Chain A
């Protein structure tokens, strides 16, 4: 590519534009959380206002309804992640290490679950959970989230396990280890970083999911995004409190994605594309 000065200037100009467009709105929204209700809107919009943490105080301290929802989000996302891992590790190991008939069908079947519309699940489960007395429970959401976390984790974990050398496992077997020992003592240990990365992504996807909790939770088990929705009151929208809740809800995934760096491409493409 050309590297003349004019070319450079053009590229930097485009970069600046890209950053303003894609990062600007996030900063604008974070600012909203620090505005007082009277500063919510102004024409023309202004960056100058007296910042206040009043919204965070209302939502997380007194009366602090969102503190409970923050806890619920943690419970549901952690639960969904932990539940899916044993299933996914076993399946990913199998798909990564063995030749078998129908592997292509199985792999594409997993991914078609990720591409299917989640809305078709919620109404039958909404009714089922009432019948079996699970309505509004954590476990109802955790179980339903498996439709996302299991197929995702199988795909991503398989891509990590594919990269671990088979030779080490074979060497262990030559040295007298049985298949299980070779798996648990060699491959599983080596796969730990991959399992951690996969868990983090499964956690973020569960954390950001709103459809399942929206339908399956009750007030005491509502997650943070559902909590933000509840600020759409009939009397008007509490924008500052929505923003305060939303900022807290988007902070963990954002920090995680920034920290994961080179793994992000891989995670977001279910391991199909190595970043």
Chain B
């Protein structure tokens, strides 16, 4: 085997995918960077109209509900991920009980995860219908106060409803993966804990949770970012409404770019979002992959 080939071959094999991916990513970033300094409304002009300095960056905060969208996005991501993790952990422990039939339950639980988020949106819009929606009816029957305009139509419950739909879809994901994590715990450790007289709560806190920590960290990273980028559910369920009550960052960008066609403003917003997201992703990567060997 010739030596020189060995040095370049790994990079030669990587190059095609890196080049394709890098080109696909760099173009929109460059496009956004250049156009963020121009005024450009696509409805009135097919090309950038005039140099605008930093005005677009300022207008992101003054003419769009950016701060509200950021607040909604952070709230949704933090609370959503938190609920999904703990509910998923609970279900994983139920599956871990190893009683008869649990393998079937585990297999069936994957169903919500397979559904396209847009379809989950349709499903929950139907469930949340103000009159005759199954969930609306259940909540009212249980004595919970559902606003007359429905969960999705009220600014106090719209974001909550989006979170519920997402939690419905992704809790089973946490459950199944965490269950897979629980199965990798060596039986000796569990036997030892049992021999030491650990009760169920001790088991969960001192054995199960620490042992699934790497799995949990990876899951939380993926889900937090997916929630941070949420678009499909918002689009179908509320379109960011009523008003701007359930707008998220992605939907705010969509609204400015593809409804109002303010390309310059959207470009500036793109960069603000990219900077925020890059910081979060890198913090996660530092935490999750610390000490990882590839």
Binding site for B on A (CB under 8 A): 1-2, 8, 11-12, 14-15, 18-19, 21-23, 25-26, 28-29, 32, 40-45, 86-88, 90-91, 93-95, 97-98, 100, 103-104, 106-108, 110-113, 115-128, 143-144, 146-147, 150-151, 154, 173, 178-179, 204, 207-211, 214-215, 225, 228-229, 239, 242-243, 246, 249-250, 253-254, 256-258, 261, 264-265, 268-269, 272-275
Contact = CB atoms under 8 A, between A and B. Distances in A.
A29 B123 contact: yes
B205 interface: no
A123 B271 CA distance: 13
A257 B111 contact: yes
B116 A147 contact: no
A36 to B, nearest CB: 14
Contact of B21 (A93, A147, A249): A147
Interface string B83-106: 000000011001011010110010
B144 interface: no
B232 A211 contact: yes
A90 B253 CA distance: 35
Nearest to A120: B270
Interface stretch (B58-66, B148-156, B169-177): B169-177
Contacts of A23: 108-109, 111-112
A44 B137 contact: yes
Contact of B17 (A117, A154, A258): A154
A21 B168 contact: yes
A211 B234 CA distance: 12
A261 B106 CA distance: 9
B197 to A, nearest CB: 13
A219 to B, nearest CB: 17
Contacts, number: 263
A104 B292 contact: yes
B183 to A, nearest CB: 9
Interface in B129-155: 129, 131-134, 137, 141
Given A98-B10, A100-B10, A91 B108 contact: no
A146 B21 contact: yes
A98 to B, nearest CB: 4
Contact of B118 (A94, A123, A228, A253): A228
Nearest to A29: B123
A40 B31 CA distance: 46
Interface in B211-242: 215, 218-219, 221-222, 225-226, 228-229, 231-232, 235-236
Interface of B: 1, 5-6, 9-11, 13-14, 16-18, 20-21, 24-25, 27-29, 31-32, 42, 90-91, 94, 96-97, 99, 101-102, 105, 107-119, 122-124, 126-127, 129, 131-134, 137, 141, 168, 171-173, 176-177, 180-181, 200, 203, 215, 218-219, 221-222, 225-226, 228-229, 231-232, 235-236, 249-250, 253-254, 257-258, 263, 266-267, 270, 273-274, 277-278, 281-282, 284-285, 289, 292, 294
Residue from the set A32, A94, A107 with the largest chain B CB neighbour count within 10 Å: A94
A123 B270 contact: yes
Contacts of A123: 28, 253, 257-258, 263, 266-267, 270
- Which 7 residue pairs across A and B have the least CB separation, nearest first? A41-B132, A94-B13, A208-B116, A98-B10, A124-B28, A117-B229, A124-B31
A40 B123 contact: no
Contact of A45 (B123, B134, B289): B134
B276 to A, nearest CB: 10
A11 B105 CA distance: 12
24 contacts: A25-B168, A41-B129, A41-B133, A43-B131, A90-B13, A95-B294, A112-B278, A113-B21, A113-B25, A115-B277, A116-B229, A120-B270, A123-B253, A151-B21, A204-B114, A211-B231, A211-B232, A225-B118, A225-B119, A249-B119, A254-B111, A264-B176, A268-B177, A272-B218
Q: Counting chain B CB atoms within 10 Å of each CB, which of A29, A32, A110, A249 scores highest? A: A29
A110 B21 CA distance: 9
B97 A210 contact: no
A202 B293 CA distance: 25
Given A124-B31, A147-B21, A273-B215, A250 B116 contact: yes
Contacts of B32: 120, 124
B218 A253 contact: no
Contacts of A117: 228-229, 231, 249-250, 273, 277
B94 A108 contact: no
Contacts of B17: 87-88, 90-91, 150, 154
A41 B29 CA distance: 46
Contacts of A94: 9-11, 13-14
A14 B263 CA distance: 51
A40 B127 CA distance: 11
A14 B236 contact: no
A126 B222 contact: no
Among the interface residues A23, A42, A88, which one has the most CB atoms of the partner chain B within 10 A?
A23
